[in-house]
Amino acid sequence: MPRSRSASSNFAGRVLALLLLVLGAGAEAAGIRVESASGRMVNDIYMADVTLRYDFSKDTLEALRSGVPLTVVVEIDVNRARKYLWDATVATVRQGYRIERHALSDQLVITNLVTGNRKSFPSLDSALVGFGDIDDIPVLERKHLDPAERYKVRVRARLDIESLPAPMRPLAYLSLDWRLSSRWYTWELET
Amino acid sequence: MTRRTASGMLVGLLGLSMLASLTLMGLATQDLVDFGQLYSTLLVVNSIGVVTFVILIGANLRTLIGQLRRGTPGSRLTLRMVTLFTLLAASPVLIVYSFSMDFLRRGIDSWFDLRVEQAINDALELSRSALDLKMRELLKQTQQIAEELTETSPPMMPLNLEDLRDPGSTIVANTLDFEGANLDELRRRHGADELALLSRQGGVIAFSNAVGELVPNLPNETILLQLRQGQSYIGLDPLRDGGLYVRVVVNVPRPGASSDARILQGLYPIPARMNKLAENVQRDFAHYTELAYLREQLKVSFTMTLTLVLLFGIFAAVWAAFYSARRLAQPIRDLAEGTRAVAEGDYETNLPVSSNDEMGFLVDSFNQMTRKIAGARDEAKRNRDQVDAERAYLEAVLGRLSSGVLTLDEELCIRTANASATQILGIGAARLDGSSLGEVCAAHPYLEPFRTRILPHLEQPGPDWQEQVVLFGTSGRQVLMCRGTALPDTPGGHTGHVIVYDDITALIQGQRNAAWSEVARRLAHEIKNPLTPIQLSAERLRHKYLHTMDPSDAEVLDRLTNTIVQQVETMKSMVNTFSEYARPPKMQPQALDLNRLIEEVLDLYRAAHPEARFETDLAVGIPVIEADVSRLRQVFNNLVKNALEASGPDAPPCIRVASRAIGDSSSPCVEIRVEDRGQGIAADMLEHVFEPYVTNKHKGTGLGLAIVKKIVEEHGGVVWMENRAQGGAAATIRLPVTVPGQAAESADLRRDAVL
């Protein structure tokens, strides 16, 4: 079973986030939204296309302008529905994208952290549009799917606080402006 | 390993872990790559560590407060030591902290100097200017290529980019040959990394790539828009591992109206040296701007780390203060508890010696002390037990002693008196301890002679003394033989006297009885022998000469011989009585109901003396005793007869006989009292009434009461005669209730003793 190529995730970060979640701070951040997502089979590989919309907070954009790279992690889970038990996770993909300002060229550079591919954008708006259209994320091979079963794919994107410079992290965990995460977007996997 | 040591080691380990964690966190704060990832974890771990220390200290504090409230030994010392340690540890740390914070803020602020910022900006600007020159050249160069392409441009359908992206596509992307012109060749000639001929919509018509990539690096929509507006694009693009490229996109002039508009994109690498320098400038600029942005957060972060270190330092010091104070105070607490235990009489306390220092020496000394005290206590207890045993032995001996033993202190108060002492003096079972001799004599006036006779010896202590004292008590005359001596000085300086006395009345009486028995026996023996020849001689004399004599002489002879014979008979009878007194028949004891016996005896007398009045007061249920019936019958006969004879001629005799059970369960006995209402007994005779031949009557042998006394004593009893206050005399007999089987044996023994 293909198991995730995952971006760095930190246990302590999760603990802190969970703590804040329990404390009742708004878990839903309006900053990132999955506008649409779909999948298709290409040469027996299930590929996902996701369109994200970013509404970064003022603090976040200020940090980006000041040269702090931001990392967005796109999480895709494929779950097999079960009748009496909770859904079984068949595949999990974690794909990170980093956006940073390149001062010399005055460009915003988006890097796919898995492939290392970079794209440059002259303005923030164009960058955010380019940053949002994520196509062809390979999720899993067909051989791992049973035609008799029903599968659901879900996706969400979040700002990875653990990728921020260390001094920023404690405050980022405590601030709603930084805890940006979309809701899960779910669709049926059609083999 | 004790629990405390184990917990100490555990906390020590926690402290070391925290120290390591704080060190890592310090490194992470500086954003070193390896530790930067751990920053949040370390923050949480260290916060938990600090909280753990707070909890530990809280628990210790709570225990200490509890101990202070209870006044546990050593708690005040612990408090003082903890306070002292904490102050000593916290003061310098706080001073260092405050200075460090100041330095930290100043240090971080000093990074951001306006001149440095200007320099960095200038460096960036300079780099851009340097690159601008190069870029303009490359624009011209690309425009030249475009023109070259215009001249040889064939009509060609653009490739669908999506098809190129598709790994399954069979389209070969490097079909680069044009009529008369080769894109690849152009690229090499102009030093480009990539040349791509595109349609206006971004479709790839042809491209040449130096690194052999399948897909050209396409311009984005913004650039295409700019191109569509007829402008060229030139810009720096950080591609492929951060290397800088110059992207030039120009419109390819259209040779004719019919041909499609095309655009040419060239990607040119920056020379390596320039690229390296530009990269450095970019990196440092980015780092500087990031640091400037993070300025406050860095301060917070460093402050947080430093504060955590401070808290850890202080809390660890406070905990260490608690730990060491407890360790130091523990022996003191042990000593205090041990001392308390010793004060409460527990000498078995043995404290653990935990160290080799002075405290250990003190604890060791304490242990030695308690051991010695315990030894001394055990020795004292042994001695006391020995003394108690000796005292009990002495008391047992004294208690069973027939002699009375009195000890008096210097104030003549009675310190001890054994059972016989009170019994002999006839003062019952009254406790004499503590009462003075004078008080006892005042309560019992008949004891006055006793005091009078011994007082001179007590007041002038000398060597052992001996004194015979005669008392006239309720039981008649008593002769006491007293011996005394001064007691040796006791440690308290008290002196005293010990008086030992025996009731020798019975002894004297016994001696007297024995003498009388001997007299009687000899008399019987000596007198009885000649009596028969005298009688025979008198009878023969009478028989031989009576009928030979004249009647007047014969009458005289007859009278004289008759007198001789009668007197001899009388003498024989007397001798027999003596003999009986001296040698009574063997005792034949059997179970006997005394009341019945008394009634039988009284019935005989009632018949013989109808004028006399006989009263009885016989207690119902008195114990059955073992006695010789015939001999006791004789006792009662003698007593009743004696009472009848003692009654005067003026009034009819009145005899009262009473019986009752007395004594306790250990020595039960039966008392019979025979009273008359006669003249009583003269005081000088009272002590001799039971002796033979003591009588105030004209008739009788004088042996009646002597025989009574003898028989009663043979039965282990006592008898005494006393004058009644209402007039008349009373004879009292006390007979022991004996167990069947023992009676005959003991009676024989007593009889032998009496004889």
**ipTM of the complex as predicted:** 0.73
A4 and B CB contact within 8 Å: no
Chain B closest CA to A67's CA: distance in Å? Answer: 5
Cβ atoms A111, A131 nearer than 8 A: no
Q: Least CB-CB distance to B282: which of A68, A102, A166?
A: A102
Contacts for A41 with CB less than 8 Å, ≥ 6 apart:
A47, A142, A191
Q: B294 and A168 in contact by Cβ < 8 A?
A: yes
Per-residue pLDDT tens digits of chain A, which is 191 residues long? 344 333 344 555 566 555 555 444 444 445 888 999 999 888 889 999 999 988 888 888 889 888 889 999 999 999 988 877 888 888 899 999 999 988 888 888 888 888 888 888 888 888 888 888 888 889 988 888 888 888 899 999 999 988 888 888 888 888 888 888 888 999 988 76
A-interface mutation test, from B290, B303, B306, most A Cβ less than 10 A away: B290
Residue of B nearest to A163 (CA): B37
Residue of A nearest to B130 (CA): A104
Q: A107 and B238 in contact by Cβ < 8 A?
A: yes
B contacts of A121 (beta carbons < 8 Å): 220, 222
Q: A105 and B235 in contact by Cβ < 8 A?
A: yes
pLDDT of residue B127: 87
- How large a percentage of chain B has pLDDT more than 70? 86
Q: A118 and B43 in contact by Cβ < 8 A?
A: no
Q: B304 and A118 in contact by Cβ < 8 A?
A: no
Between β-strands B414-417 and B404-409, what pairing exists: parallel, antiparallel or unpaired?
Answer: antiparallel
Strand order in the sheet with B654-662: B613-618, B654-662, B669-675, B729-736, B718-723
Q: Which amino acid is at B56?
A: L
Q: Which residue has the tokens 């039965």?
A: B715
A167 and B CB contact within 8 Å: yes
| Cα(B438)–Cα(B453) distance, integer angstroms | 13
Residue of B nearest to A162 (CA): B37
Contacts for B127 with CB less than 8 Å, ≥ 6 apart:
A104, B277, B278, B281, B282
| Cα(B397)–Cα(B416) distance, integer angstroms | 14
Cβ atoms B612, B602 nearer than 8 A: no
Q: At what angle do helices B295-343 and B39-70 cross, to 10 degrees?
A: 30
Q: B44 and A15 in contact by Cβ < 8 A?
A: yes
Tens-digit pLDDT profile for residues B545-604: 888 888 888 888 888 888 888 888 888 887 777 777 766 667 778 888 889 999 988 888
B585-B588-B590 Cα angle (round to 5): 155
Burial of B202: CB neighbours in 10 Å, binned 0-12, 13-18, 19+: middle
| Distances in whole angstroms, Cα of residue B48 to Cα of each of B40, B45, B53, B55, B75 | 12, 5, 9, 10, 29
Q: Least CB-CB distance to B28: which of A67, A100, A166?
A: A166
A183-A184-A187 Cα angle (round to 5): 140
- How large a percentage of chain B has pLDDT more than 90? 4
Q: Least CB-CB distance to A165: which of B31, B42, B124?
A: B31
Query: Of chain B residues 558-587, which have a CB less than 8 A from chain A?
Result: none
Q: A121 and B220 in contact by Cβ < 8 A?
A: yes
Cβ atoms B101, B252 nearer than 8 A: no
Cβ atoms B116, B287 nearer than 8 A: no
B432-436 — which CB contacts under 8 Å span 24+ positions? Answer: B432/B406, B436/B411, B436/B412
B494 and A CB contact within 8 Å: no
Residue of B nearest to A123 (CA): B222
| Cα(B672)–Cα(B631) distance, integer angstroms | 15
pLDDT of residue B30: 63
pTM value is 0.52
Point out the residues of chain B with pLDDT beneath 50.
32-33, 155-180, 741-744, 749, 753-755
Mean pLDDT rounded to a whole number for chain B: 80
pLDDT of residue B1: 52
Q: A102 and B238 in contact by Cβ < 8 A?
A: yes
Q: A121 and B222 in contact by Cβ < 8 A?
A: yes
Q: Which two tokens stand for residue B366?
A: 């304490």
A107 and B CB contact within 8 Å: yes
B37 and A CB contact within 8 Å: yes
Q: A166 and B238 in contact by Cβ < 8 A?
A: no
Q: B298 and A167 in contact by Cβ < 8 A?
A: yes
Q: In chain A, what is the greatest distance between 2 CA atoms, to the nearest angstrom?
A: 58
A contacts of B166 (beta carbons < 8 Å): 42
pLDDT of residue A24: 45
Q: Which residue has the tokens 């009345």?
A: B505
A70 and B CB contact within 8 Å: no
Q: Mind spelling out the 3-state secondary structure of B682-714?
A: CHHHHCCCCCCCCCCCCCCCCCHHHHHHHHHHH
Q: Which residues pair with A92 in a beta bridge?
A: A77
B166 and A CB contact within 8 Å: yes
Contacts for B398 with CB less than 8 Å, ≥ 6 apart:
B405, B416, B418
Q: Which two tokens stand for residue B600?
A: 């039988």
Q: B40 and A42 in contact by Cβ < 8 A?
A: no
| Cα(B702)–Cα(B700) distance, integer angstroms | 6
